[in-house]
Amino acid sequence: MIYIKTKKEIDFIRDSCRIVAETLQLVKSKIKKGISTLELDQIAEDYIRSNDAVPAFKGYKQGNASEFPGSICTSIDDAVVHGIPGNKVLSDGEIISVDIGVVKNKYFGDGAITVAVGEISNEKKRLLQITEKSLYVGIEEAKSGNRVHDISSAIQKFVEENGFSIVRELCGHGVGKFLHEEPSIPNFGIRGTGPKLKNGMTLAIEPMVNAGDFRVKTANDGWTVLTNDGKPSAHFEHSILIKDNSPEILTIC
């Protein structure tokens, strides 16, 4: 079921998304050589809870995996998404994707960025640039009357034209009443297909882009998704509101 949110619900979702955006920027400011992903996780959790909100990922269950132990996802280099915070210390030259979900007043927000640790290679710089740009290319298609796969097709076309590959086993989603709602929003597809976009829909659009092949695998921890070929991956995500011809980005401060 695809939910059309009321004005009151959108206000609650907007507040949760504001906290997501602020937490992402706080964590970004702390990313440097020598800090552990567990320290970043604690910084994020403290800030989220200081806003009378709760980390949406902590304790989340999917499939046969155990409950997710962290407040945020920290995915380094060839980790695409769902990296578990731990004792891993960041090193110069790495990239780290930080994915954050927040629930406040029973409504959810979701967002992600990928950040360079110190000086990174030109390939990684370009990977980050193209992935972030592809997110905005997709958002441009998020207009009332368009179809979900208009977003998907635009992202795929831009990414592949720039020599990278789009992850196919993971996708964006509706967000708001629940962390994950219908519709699914793949990052590849055929324009003019999929559910019609309507005012009041809230969506999490999140391209995951690999420097090499698009194929991925899940690590032994049951959560971390890795590139098959060991090459780096980047991930950017915004929660948005469908509003006629001008989608509103909610996860922005």
- pLDDT tens digits along 20-35: 999 999 999 999 999 9
Q: Which CATH class is domain 7-249?
A: alpha beta
Report pLDDT for 214. 98
* Stated pTM of the model: 0.97
Is 145's pLDDT higher than 90? yes
138 band by pLDDT with thresholds 50, 70 and 90:
very high
Q: How far apart are CA 233 and CA 35, in angstroms?
A: 21
Q: How far apart are CA 80 and CA 230, in angstroms?
A: 10
Domain ranges of the chain: 7-249
Report pLDDT for 28. 98
Mean pLDDT of 93-97: 98
Q: Quick one: what percent of the chain has pLDDT higher than 90?
A: 96
Is 119's pLDDT higher than 90? yes
- 207 closest CA partner among 128, 107, 146: 128
Report pLDDT for 207. 98
Residues 6+ apart with CB under 8 A from 162: 126, 130
Is 88's pLDDT higher than 90? yes
Is 63's pLDDT higher than 90? no
Q: What is the pLDDT of residues 182-230, one digit of tens each?
A: 999 999 999 999 999 999 999 999 999 999 999 999 999 999 999 999 9
136 band by pLDDT with thresholds 50, 70 and 90:
very high
Mean of all residue pLDDT scores within the chain? 97
Report pLDDT for 204. 98
Report pLDDT for 206. 98
Is 112's pLDDT higher than 90? yes
Q: What is the pLDDT of residues 30-51, one digit of tens each?
A: 999 999 999 999 999 999 999 9
* Partners of residue 107 on adjacent β-strands: 104
Is 244's pLDDT higher than 90? no
Is 85's pLDDT higher than 90? yes
